[in-house]
Amino acid sequence: MNIQKTIGLQKMLGLAAALFCAGQAHAYNCSGVAQYVDGRSYNANAIVQNAGSAFSCKVSGWCTIGGPYAPGTGWASGEAWTNLGSCGTTATSSTPTSSVRSSVASSTPVTGGNCPNWAAGTTYLAGTVVKYNGAFYLAEHDNPGYDPVVSTWYWEPTASCPGGTNTSSSTGNNGTCAAWVAGRLYYAGNTVSYNGSFFRAKYDNPGYDPLISTWFWEPTSSCNGTGTSSSVSSNTNNGTGFAAVVSEAQFNQMFPGRNPFYTYAGLVAATNTYPAFAGTGDIQLKKREAAAALANFSHETGSFVHVTEIARGLYCSDWGNLATCPCEPGKQYYGRGPIQLSHNGNYCAAGAALGLDLRRNPELVEQNATVAWQTALWFWMTQSGAGYRTAHDNIVNNYGFGETIRTINGAKECNGGNPAQVQSRISEFNRILQIIGGTAGNNLGC
C-alpha cells in the first residue's frame, strides 16, 4: 500500500498526451479515405476515417482489435492510431474531447429501435444504448450513470438505436436475450440468443458468428451469463475456489514479467486459508473478485515486480498499540508482499489471524510466497482499511470495484485525490477480466 504503480501512471500520462495532441490536429482531406470498421483487419500505416477525423494505423495488431483501440473513440486509441487531422476542418486545442464526440453524435442520423433516454444515476452495462440530447450513445464499459458527453471513456457515439438496449450478461433472464445480429457491435459481457442457444461475448467484436468465432464467444446456460463454455473450461484447472476461476496459464498470461517470487502455487495455497475468496456467488461474481484482487495487488507491486517496498523504513508506530505489539529490536515493518503489508500493528494482526509470529519474523512475508499471498488475502477478506467495508464485501455485495480501491487506498486516491491512479487500477481490472472472460459490474471508480 506504499508503492505507486509508476507504469500505470505513465500509460495514463501518455494517453492524456495523445488526447492533447489530437486536439492540435490539422485538417485532413478525407476524400476517398475508407470509413473505419471495428474489428476489421488493418495493417500498419493504413489510413481510415472515424468520428470525423483521419487516422493512420501505428500497430496492426491493436488496430485490428477495435473496441478500446478504435480510432478517436476507444480509450486506448492513441496507442494504436495516429490522428492525422479532422476531415475538412481544423480542431483547436481549446475544444475538449467530450465536445468533439458530442458533435459527432449529434450529426449522426438518428434511426432505428426504441432506446431509453439516459438517466443520471442509473446503472448501465457495457453494450447498452441510450438516447441523450437527440443522439445515441453506446456504453463501452459498465458505469453507474455517468454523463455520455462528459464521461467519454465510458460512452461512445453510435449511429442508431439497434432495436433497443443491448443488455450485458449480468442482466436479463432465460429466454429474453436479444437475438444475435450479424455486423452489430458487441462488447465483452453481452449475451445473445442464437439458434435456440445463448452465447456470451468474451471479447469485443463487430458481430462475428457465435458458432464460428469461438474465440470471441462462449456458450452460456442462460441470459444471466452464468454458464461456462468448453473453451473456458479448457483454460481452467479442475480445482475449486480460485483455482477453478483462474488457471496457471491465465495467471502467467496476466503477469509475464512478474518476480518469480509470486508463484501461482503459493497463491492457490493461500486461498485455502480463505475459501470464500473467489468462491462466493455465481461464476461471474467469482471471476470479478479474482480480477479485482489481482488488479489491486498488481497495482501495489508494479505488476508483481516488487516484493518489498522501495523506500524502506522502520514503520514502528504506537497506533499499532506498542503495549501489546511492541516492535522487535532490529526488525523493520516496511511494505512487503502483494498488498505491501506495513507497520507493526498490521504485522501483529495478520500474524495473529494466520497463526504466524510476524512481529518477530516480518521477513517471512518476503521469504515465503504462500505467507505473502496470505497477508494480502487477510487484508482483502477482513480489513476495511480506508473504506466502509472489506474489499471482499464490496465485491460480493455489489458495491463495485471502486469501493475496493477506497478500502485499500481511498484516503489518497478517491474523491478526486488521485484520479490517474484510480484509472490505472480500473484499466488493470478490465485487462484481467478480458483474459478470464468476466464482467466488471457497476461502480468502477471511487
> Catalytic residues, which ones?
300
Show the CA angle centred on residue 336, arms to residues 287 and 404, nearest 5°: 35
368 contact partners, CB below 8 Å, separation of at least 6: 266
Residue 106, class by beta-carbon neighbours within 10 Å (0-12 exposed, 13-18 middle, 19+ buried)?
middle
Question: Which string of DSSP letters, residue by residue, matches 223-285?
Answer: TT-----HHHHTTS-S-STHHHHS-HHHHHHH-TT--TTS-HHHHHHHHTT-TTTT-SSSHHH
Distances (CA, A) of 215 to 65, 165, 199, 200: 13, 24, 12, 11
The identity of residue 32, as a single letter, is: G
Contact 165, 115 (CB under 8 A): yes
Cell triple for 80: 494504436
Phi, psi of 79 (to 5 degrees): -80, -20
Q: How far apart are CA 267 and CA 369, in angstroms?
A: 8
Contact 61, 3 (CB under 8 A): no
Cell triple for 90: 481544423
Measured in Å, how far apart are the chain's first and last C-alpha atoms?
17
